[in-house]
Chain A
Amino acid sequence: MLQNFCPKLNQKMISHTCANGLKICIFPKKGFKRAYAMLAVNYGSIDISFDTDGKMYTSPLGVAHFLEHKVFEQPDGGNALQAFAQTGASPNAFTSKTKTAYYFSGTEKFMRNLEILLGFVTTPYFTAENVKKEQGIIGQEISMVNDRPGWRVYENLMSAMYAVHPAKDSIIGTVESISEITRDVLFKCYNTFYVPSNMALCVAGDVSAEKVIAAAESLLPKERVALPERDYGLEPCEVVDRRVVQKLETSMPQFSIGSKFAFKTTGAEGMRNRIVAELAADILGGGSSPLYNKLYSDGMITADFDCEAMVLPGSIALVLSGESRDPDAVLTKVCLAAERLSKDIDNAYFDRCRKAYLGLKLRSLDKVRALCQEQAEAVFAGYDFLDSFEIINEITPDEISCFISKFFKEETTSVSIVAGE
């Protein structure tokens, strides 16, 4: 018999959708000194082909990340970072495969900081000169990340797993691709994707929801802009390469093992698929899994080991990463464990993994950045993060078995290895 546990959530969310299409989500955090705001754009490194004026356009690789750097610069010659510094806020930004996010946290002048955030993201200033300068800075960043075994092993896995889906390409692009980025390219992509209907504003802190909504309504463009069709191609079931190896100075071989399958990743079905995928990852290779404990006890992996679900539009991958002297032997064990779980999952084991998963999600309510990020992803996928708590109890062992059965077949699985000479 399965247990049922659904502790009452102490966390509320206030949400509002503006006429321009912007979704605002506020998590009240009474007594917290720091308030946090994230303006996320549903535009990541995979959004390179899209419909514009009835024609498909393909941008150079790395534009989303390039824009993330450039958006901070302002027409008056200043930089939004300096404006934040005057209020003591800590701003930053990141680009992932699927989104770009700008955020700050601070202890005072929250509304002033929010105005700066909303203002600079919607005030592009790109010139031939500042684009050229950024090519130098991003060139350095490309050198830096290419020296990191962890980055290389991940990006190599992506290009081994995906044949068509633009997730196969590096988030930051290449030195060659960024040299093709011009002011016009930036404006084209910016004008297409940096519109309120393609954004989510997520806030957590002891702040006034009414004031946040009023600021967003008054500072952002009023017009609701139609969004373009995006083309991610038709991804085949098979991976491109089953095994890729890169030589790079590292003390112990690092590996990423990934297996992909096509899934719906939006709406209620997408939310459920994401939860099933995350729970399946814990059951397969989480800290209490027989797989992890056996590999660790046998000295085949170190404690630096993760098993996680990677959700992309229309595709979910289960990815196991870590360090091992024999990544191929780890791959064999992973495939065997997946095969066993696809036939049967012990109810008691399932129950405790689900309880631990729920605990992990409850903990994320204390982490304002993680909370806003989860909600921004949920908005872009068409649901609310807090709704996912109720679904967790509905998941069954059979659902997980069925899910895992789709993964870790020879033809859908790749292993990426980075090792020294």
Chain B
Amino acid sequence: MKMTYKEILPGINLRVIESDAFETNCISIQFVSEINNETASKMTLVPRVLRRGTVKHPDMESLAAELDEMYGARIEPVSRKYGDIISGGFVCDFVDPEKTLFGSVVKLLSEILVKPKLSDGIFVEEYVDGERTNLIDEIKSEINNKLSYAHKKAVEIMFKNTPYAVSELGTEEEAEKIDSASLYKYYKKLVCEAPCEIFFCGNTSFDEVKSAFLHMFSSLPARKGTKVKSGKPIYSELVRKKERLDISQANLLVGMYNENADIYASKLLCAVIGGGTCSKLFVNVREKQSLCYFTGTMYDSFEKSMFLYCGIDPKNAKIAEKAVLDEFENCVLAQITDEEIHNAKKGMIDDIITVDDSLFSMEAFWLRAALLGDERTPSEIAAYIRELDGEMLSDVARGFKTSVVYLLTGLEESENAAKLLPQA
């Protein structure tokens, strides 16, 4: 596997991993911008509207027919949030049994990106209206997945009134304001000015990929090479919040931050606390105390935040919160066993070095790397993690401050009953 990463035009970086290990090839093109209430919905909508039709393939059905002929190649719109940055674009994958499809796929991708179907010089209103309605429905449907909904609400509290609080879908209110003209204006600015990260992995050389993308951008104005700057996160002081829905299982999240800590030490601490079946939360809160069905932790490298979570019987909320915080406190007090560190490291290193086994893992890993400005390979990061020790983890734990305790619970409950589930 050979990797090359270069700026091929001002602000446009191309990363090519030449490999014949897969049946599948992957192309990703992602434009990058600061996130705010206005840009989030637009960044999410632009690729979705572009995917509706081009000058040559004016509707989804004709685009789908073209993709079917390429062994069902996929060109999927995607937007992702990284702290106070948002990326938006397309991720494509295709099998190429006769080794003839690379040029055709890039040509179609280029068509989608730079030759959209227009009406009176702006996006087709019907497409924008349809995708805006879908986006608003998607924002409303976030409530269907209770844990991710609760996490979103907790993040909003932790980063209240800052870009970090904005979701990649944006808000219903901002999405409602978008029309064909305003979205087209944003699109033109995006493709002509925004920094762009292009990724390819497959059986094609860097020069060939570069040439295909230079051709794609040749129809656009020359770029100045602007940069996107990430701002420092501002965290809320401790906020406790309870919200109620008609649900039978409650979700408890405790959100903490340590803005100065090393990312991988924080991630390892996170893994020790709730990273898997040997973590403190799983072993002690789920298995020993039978307080929850699921429990774990999430760490965000851009936010420098850690969330401890569990799904619980609503009446156990108080006892579960104490149990979860006790596990964190044990880390502060350096009560972390060598076995816990060993298990957490093994799981984390395993995850990192196997990034190279999957095209989509590589795509996601290297986009994050580009945005973090961290060009270490998975093997180099694994070597770094191996050197971390328990003392470093306790130091990191001591630097974490609790910012939010969020409980999404049922309509009726008696929290003081605090009864444990049956246990051995």
Q: Which residues on B sit within 8 Å (CB–CB) of A11? A: 23
Distance of A214 from chain B, by nearest CB (Å)? 25
Q: Across the interface, do A251 and B143 meet the contact criterion of CB distance under 8 Å?
A: yes
Q: Across the interface, do B141 and A144 meet the contact criterion of CB distance under 8 Å?
A: no
Given known pairs A33-B356, A147-B248, the reply for A359 and B94 (CB within 8 Å) is yes
Q: Across the interface, do B347 and A85 meet the contact criterion of CB distance under 8 Å?
A: yes
Q: Is A112 an interface residue (CB 8 A)?
A: no
In the complex, the chain A residue whose C-beta lies closest to that of B21 is A31
With A and B bound together, what is the CA distance between A302 and B339 in angstroms? 47
Chain A residues 365 to 407 lying within 8 A of chain B, measured CB to CB, are 365-366, 368
With A and B bound together, what is the CA distance between A132 and B311 in angstroms? 20
Q: Which residues on B sit within 8 Å (CB–CB) of A360? A: 72
With A and B bound together, what is the CA distance between A84 and B282 in angstroms? 15
Contact of B293 among A30, A91, A141, A299 (CB under 8 A): A141
With A and B bound together, what is the CA distance between A106 and B313 in angstroms? 34
The stretch of B9-17, B132-140, B205-213, B258-266 in contact with A is: B132-140
Contact of A288 among B68, B94, B140, B343 (CB under 8 A): B68
With A and B bound together, what is the CA distance between A139 and B249 in angstroms? 10
Chain B residues 236 to 251 lying within 8 A of chain A, measured CB to CB, are 245-249
Q: Across the interface, do B67 and A130 meet the contact criterion of CB distance under 8 Å?
A: no
Q: Is A129 an interface residue (CB 8 A)?
A: yes
**Count of chain A residues with a beta carbon within 8 Å of a chain B beta carbon:** 68
The stretch of B57-65, B114-122, B215-223, B326-334 in contact with A is: B57-65
Q: Which residues on A sit within 8 Å (CB–CB) of B142? A: 251
Q: Across the interface, do B350 and A107 meet the contact criterion of CB distance under 8 Å?
A: yes
Q: Is B144 an interface residue (CB 8 A)?
A: yes
In the complex, the chain B residue whose C-beta lies closest to that of A36 is B357
Residue from the set B68, B70, B72, B354 with the largest chain A CB neighbour count within 10 Å: B72
In the complex, the chain B residue whose C-beta lies closest to that of A249 is B246
Distance of A265 from chain B, by nearest CB (Å)? 25
* A79-123 contact mask (Cβ, 8 Å, vs B): 1 or 0: 101101111111100000000000001110000000000000000
Q: Which residues on A sit within 8 Å (CB–CB) of B65? A: 288, 352
Residue from the set A87, A140, A148, A290 with the largest chain B CB neighbour count within 10 Å: A140
Q: Is B95 an interface residue (CB 8 A)?
A: yes
With A and B bound together, what is the CA distance between A106 and B343 in angstroms? 13
Q: Across the interface, do B357 and A33 meet the contact criterion of CB distance under 8 Å?
A: yes
Q: Which residues on B sit within 8 Å (CB–CB) of A34? A: 350, 354, 357
Contact of B350 among A32, A89, A129, A248 (CB under 8 A): A89
Q: Is A146 an interface residue (CB 8 A)?
A: yes
With A and B bound together, what is the CA distance between A137 and B22 in angstroms? 40
* A12-52 contact mask (Cβ, 8 Å, vs B): 1 or 0: 00000000000000000011111000000000000000000
Q: Across the interface, do A136 and B423 meet the contact criterion of CB distance under 8 Å?
A: yes
* A239-272 contact mask (Cβ, 8 Å, vs B): 1 or 0: 0000000001111100000000000000000000
Q: Is B254 an interface residue (CB 8 A)?
A: no
Q: Across the interface, do B64 and A133 meet the contact criterion of CB distance under 8 Å?
A: no
Distance of B418 from chain A, by nearest CB (Å)? 15
Residue from the set B71, B93, B246, B276 with the largest chain A CB neighbour count within 10 Å: B71
Distance of B379 from chain A, by nearest CB (Å)? 10
* B29-56 contact mask (Cβ, 8 Å, vs A): 1 or 0: 0000000000000000000000000000
CB-defined A-B contacts under 8 Å, sample of 26: A32-B357, A79-B277, A79-B287, A86-B339, A86-B346, A88-B343, A90-B350, A132-B422, A133-B290, A136-B422, A250-B141, A250-B144, A251-B143, A252-B137, A288-B61, A288-B64, A302-B138, A323-B141, A355-B69, A356-B67, A356-B71, A359-B70, A362-B24, A362-B97, A363-B93, A368-B357
Apart from A88-B345, A137-B286, what are 5 other A-B pairs with CB-CB below 8 Å? A34-B357, A147-B248, A252-B141, A299-B130, A362-B95
List residues of chain B with CB under 8 Å of any chain A CB. 21-24, 59-61, 64-65, 67-73, 93-95, 97-98, 126, 130, 133-134, 137-138, 140-146, 245-249, 276-278, 286-287, 290, 292-294, 311-313, 339, 342-343, 345-347, 349-351, 353-354, 356-359, 421-424
